[in-house]
Structure formats: C-alpha cells, structure tokens
Structure 1
C-alpha cells in the first residue's frame, strides 16, 4: 500500500470528503457529451469522484485518463493505461447514444448529454446506487435496480429503452451497480480509508474551501433568441446547485454544465436559459453551496451584465 502525502489528509478533511462517521463512502462518475463543442472544448469528458472530491479525469482532446489533485501522489491504486482504454470505449458508446437521441428528436443542432452513475457503501456493505442520463438539462432515462429496468423520463427515451434492452441484458447494469462498482470502491478504499477516517485537528497543510465566484454572459442567436449563461467558478467542495427565476417563478433550464474540476482543486460549472432577444429581464440566478451562509442571488438585465463574487 502506497504512502500518501500529509496534504491528502488535510485536503480530505477540509473539503468534507471524510464525512464518514457512519461508515459511508461513495464512488460516482459524471460524463458529458456535446454535439457541437466550441473551439478547444472537448466533445466528451469524464470525471470520477470519491465522495465529493474528483480523483480522475478523461476528455476527448487528450484521450488520457489521469489522476487529479492529491491522487497524483498515489501509486498502485489504478492501472491508468487500462483506465484510459476503458474511458475511450465508454466515450464511443456515450457519443453514439447522444447521436441516437438527436436522431429520435430529428434535431441536429447543439445538444448536451450527461450521464451520472455510481454506488455507495455503508459499513463496507452495498447500500445504494444510481444511473441516470440527462439530455439538454432534463432527465432523459434512469435505471431502476430493483426491477431491473430502464425507466424513460422523456417520450423519445422509449426508443433508447427498447434499443438497450434489446441489445443488452438488464443484468449487466444491475451487476455493475450492485457488484462491480462497490468492489471497485472497496479497492480504492485500501489506499484512502485511513485518511478518510482520520480526524487530526492539528494538521496545517490543506486546500482551503472556497465560495463560488460568479459571472454572466449573454449571446444573441438565430430566430431572435438570446442565451443567458451563468458561470460559477473557483468553488470547493464540488457539489453546487444553480437555477434561474423571473418574477419569482423558476425558468426552465436550457443546459446544465457538469461540475468540472480544475488543476488547483477548485471546480466550475454553469447553467443557461434561452429567452427572446426582446426580453430585457430582469432575471435572477440563484446559487446554493455549502460554504454560503444563504442562497446567493444575482441579478441580470440588459443594462446590467452582472459580475459578482460569492461570500459566506
């Protein structure tokens, strides 16, 4: 078993990863595919999380799975060459699914597909899992392990359900969630559990928690439609919630960005809405994060392209 740097202990404690007094640990993966990415933006990326801290990243530009943050110092936990091949194969399958969904809707425009799946252990025993796909910000299809079955959440998702259940046994995703994923998590815990459980209050080396900084952009598009984008960045730990409102009513989201880890251990994400170009607002974006004492609300209108920084 490899020895990890003392900074890992402090990092895990500060960002909340070691909230394991009840013996709970989680492993999850977030995938994002984009049909028409902007220049220098990957059309596919995958991030792995141990609890709330990113430890693995892969994208279609580099096509290499690599460790993040303190996990760059851990030796023997993963075979990164094999992991790279696995993520390449998953990229192909994932982007094929995005193409299929676009065909079902007969829409070749700019679209985003997100996949989120993972499992949880409690006292070393399997205690839950999830697997869901989100298309253009709306839940598309999810897997129910108890049945087992894929459960469509949009009308066109019935086509995906039929295809997947025709091409593959339902026992495969069930086995992955209930057997393979927990075993993978147990393997990772051989290198992390001691540090996750440690409660050393005297440690001085740590990565500070950060409240999100935020900014707006707006872009005119075809058919007199404007896209409003709200970006949250430099926040840690990773989990964050963002949503738009107008006159007190929630506005339907056009796209949710994945929670993307940076090289410095912080994260960024975004949420967009589409509005008529003639609409001058006001619109409000709301941010909820563990470091904020209350929900951060930021105003956008045509005369005020807002920029603000979150404070606790």
Structure 2
C-alpha cells in the first residue's frame, strides 16, 4: 500500500513524451497552510510551477484547481476535476500535519506551514529534486534523496520524521522525486514547451539624471524579455565601467522580466557610455549608447 504521504502526490497524467529539448526544465509545487485564516481567506493554497511560470492554483475556499496564464487555453494536459479532488485531500493532510506540529511546539493561535517540492530534468534525464517544509517561516524538515531520509531541522521535527518514516514514506518519497515527478514533468512538456521555450527579446533604454550637480546617474533598463537569464554591462571607450547598483524585477503579468544596471559618473563627463545586453533571444549583443549631447 502506498503510504498516505505519497498517495496524496501521485496524479495520473497523459502519456510521457519521448523527447525534450536540450535544456533544463523543472516542475515545482508550493503549498501554504494557515491554522486560523482570516475570514474569507483559504486555510490551504497550492500553486504548481513549470520552470518559473505558474500553471495552476488551488485554494480551500473554492476547492478548485484552475489553470493559469496560457494554460487556460490548453486542452488535455490535466483533468482539473480530478486534480481538484487530489488537492483537497492533500490540503486536509497538510493541515493535519500543521495541527500535529503545533502540538509538538505546544503552540496555540495562528501558525503557518509551508511546503515546497519538485524535480528537474536535463537532456530528458533526471537532474535533481528537493522536498522541504517550513513552520512559521523557519526551516522545519527536508528530504535527502541520497541517504534517503527525512532530516529534521528543528528539535520538534524529530516527531514528524518518526511519524512519516513509520508510515513508510522514505522509499516512496524517493521514488516520487526521482521517477514520478520527472515522468509528470515530461508529460506536461508535451503541452507546455511552446510557453517555456519562447524567446522574447529585451527592449533597452537609458535614463540620465544629475544629483547635486556633481554626479550623473545613468540607468540602463532591459524590459519585456524572456527567459530570465540576461547579461548587462557598461563600457566607456572599450573599458568596462563597474556598476554602482543592479537589480531585476519578478515575472510580470505579461510573463516577461525586467533588469537594470546603474553607473555613476562625473556630471561633466561627456561619454560616450554604452550599455551592452546579451540574451538568448538575440543573435548578437544589443548596444545602446549615451553621450552628453543626447
């Protein structure tokens, strides 16, 4: 008999694809349980991600698992009614564990339990996996596939380790992470590669402003690109200028990213200064130049 911990993870999917592109793909699930949610807020939520893109969300208020983004238009990838039943059962099990953990800590009041697990494939082969939980924002327990075993990260988590391992979850958890999860990911890729493999080139712009008449700030912004990896750097006369600050934005509602790099130069400097951007969507690096006459 499959232990309850894993029986709440195995979902039948469509036939497995025989080929994937020569790049990594990941399938990750994020779950969140709250012992005393505010009125109108769910006690349990779960979101599934393919690479960095959320493809479904479930909450205990609606008791529905619903596709997100472009996956709303995909037919046949998942039986959403069955997935809704699965997530409801998993949510009940998740909240029961939260109640048990509160007992180990002798806690009352409102507390949270968060879980994240998933796997990766590279060149169609298993590329790694992880499974971990946090209680009230602190790492609580994680699974080690090499030993294999549940590793307590808090003294109280020893109770959870003993409970789960007594139920026989160790080998089943390892099998799930190393076989069931990659197989599910391959099946999802039959429907999802057009969304995951797309190449949206960045649009690049430079802004300039002077502070206290002494320092000029140049900011190079790359907008609306996908996938996330990008390289940006500044030069003056073929010499690299070290960036003062840099940053990146989260995945936007339209499914693209933003990144920026800032340099500070003397306000009297005429330049030219060039911002160079390299991205997988570009056949060659994109260069945008600023000088004081602009």
Q: Call closer, same or farther: CA 1:61–1:265 in 2, change over 3 Å.
A: farther
Is 1:184 paired with 2:184? yes
Instruction: Give SS of 2:64's match.
Output: coil
Deviations 1:8-47 (CA, angstroms, capped at 9, x unpaired): xxxxxxxxxxxx9851000000000011111211111000
Cα RMSD of the aligned pairs, angstroms, is 2.7
Is 1:197 paired with 2:211? no
Match of 1:49 in 2: 49
Distance 2:59 2:142 in 1: 24
Distance 2:134 2:254 in 1: 26
| CA drift at 1:291 | 3.5
Distance 1:81 1:41 in 2: 22
Match of 2:78 in 1: 78
Q: Aligned pair count?
A: 201
Deviations 1:151-206 (CA, angstroms, capped at 9, x unpaired): 0000100000000001123111111100110000000000122443344759xxxx
Is 1:25 paired with 2:25? yes
Is the 1:35–1:111 contact (alpha carbons within 8 Å) kept by the matching residues of 2?
yes
Is 1:236 paired with 2:250? yes
Distance 1:188 1:44 in 2: 24
Distance 2:116 2:41 in 1: 20
Is the 1:236–1:265 contact (alpha carbons within 8 Å) kept by the matching residues of 2?
no
Larger radius of gyration: 2
Distance 2:97 2:33 in 1: 10
Instruction: Give SS of 1:81's match.
Output: helix
| CA drift at 1:208 | 4.7
Q: Call closer, same or farther: CA 1:109–1:191 in 2, change over 3 Å.
A: same
Deviations 1:208-266 (CA, angstroms, capped at 9, x unpaired): 57xxxxxxxxxxxxxxxxxxxxxxxxx6318xxxxxxxxxxxxxxxxxxxxxxxxx568
Distance 1:151 1:290 in 2: 37
Instruction: Give SS of 1:170's match.
Output: helix
Q: Call closer, same or farther: CA 1:156–1:68 in 2, change over 3 Å.
A: same
TM-score, length of structure 2 as denominator length: 0.63
Unaligned runs of 5+ in 2: 1-19, 203-222, 226-248, 263-294
Match of 2:288 in 1: none
Distance 2:55 2:63 in 1: 16
Distance 2:224 2:39 in 1: 32
Instruction: Give SS of 1:31's match.
Output: strand
Distance 2:110 2:127 in 1: 38
Match of 2:171 in 1: 171
| CA drift at 1:81 | 1.0
Distance 1:116 1:196 in 2: 21
| Shift >4 Å, 4+ stretches | none
Instruction: Give SS of 1:183's match.
Output: helix
Larger RCO (CA within 8 A; separation ≥ 6): 1
TM-score, length of structure 1 as denominator length: 0.59
